[in-house]
Amino acid sequence: MGVPFCIFKLLFGLLALRAAAEQGSAALTAFGWLIVVWAATDLSMNMARVVFHLSGRASPIEYCAIAQLEGSLGARLFLAIDTLISFSIICFVLWSGWIVQLGRVESYLWYAATTLNLISISVVSIWIEFRRGA
């Protein structure tokens, strides 16, 4: 969650922009820019949360723009929706073949985001199990 998902979104937006340029699609261009702005917004929100955490203050900002819209349903539901969308993006990039369009540095960013995401899921699972035993 967090920064790795922002990286996936950002790279997806860039890939959409590349596909739009190839196809000459204004709609895909708009979609690509929307995703890039969304990813940049989420990344900024994550960095703001880090600053609040390091300063010892509670953050009034959620991890992502979707969760910030929480309303009466609660941030957990909206974080789960953002997670579903992010995993869907990952699957689309892999299954569509767009993954091969990533440049070298972009590929390393994808690998890093994947590694951080998978390891964080494992660490959270271990943490939950330790908490259950305590």
The pLDDT-based confidence of 134 (bands split at 50, 70, 90) is low
pLDDT of residue 101: 95
CA atoms within 13 A on the CB side of 84: 8
Domains identified in the chain, total number: 1
pLDDT digits (tens, 9 = 90+) for 55-103: 999 888 877 788 777 765 655 778 788 889 999 999 999 999 999 999 9
pLDDT of residue 120: 84
The token pair at 122 is 């494992």
pLDDT of residue 1: 57
The owner of tokens 């955490």 is: 53
- Residue bearing the bigger pLDDT, 132 or 111: 111
pLDDT of residue 42: 92
Taking CA 69 as the corner, what is the angle to CA 128 and CA 38, rounded to the nearest 5 degrees? 90
CB atoms within 10 A of CB 31: 17
The owner of tokens 């995401």 is: 117
pLDDT of residue 105: 97
- Report which DSSP code applies to 56: T
The pLDDT-based confidence of 128 (bands split at 50, 70, 90) is confident
The token pair at 85 is 């969308």
Give residue 80's domain range: 3-133
Q: What one-letter code names the amino acid at 64?
A: C
pLDDT digits (tens, 9 = 90+) for 13-57: 999 999 999 999 999 999 999 999 999 999 999 899 889 989 999
Cα dist from 4 to 14, 21, 72, 111, 129, whole Å: 15, 26, 27, 10, 24
Q: 3-class SS at 116?
A: helix
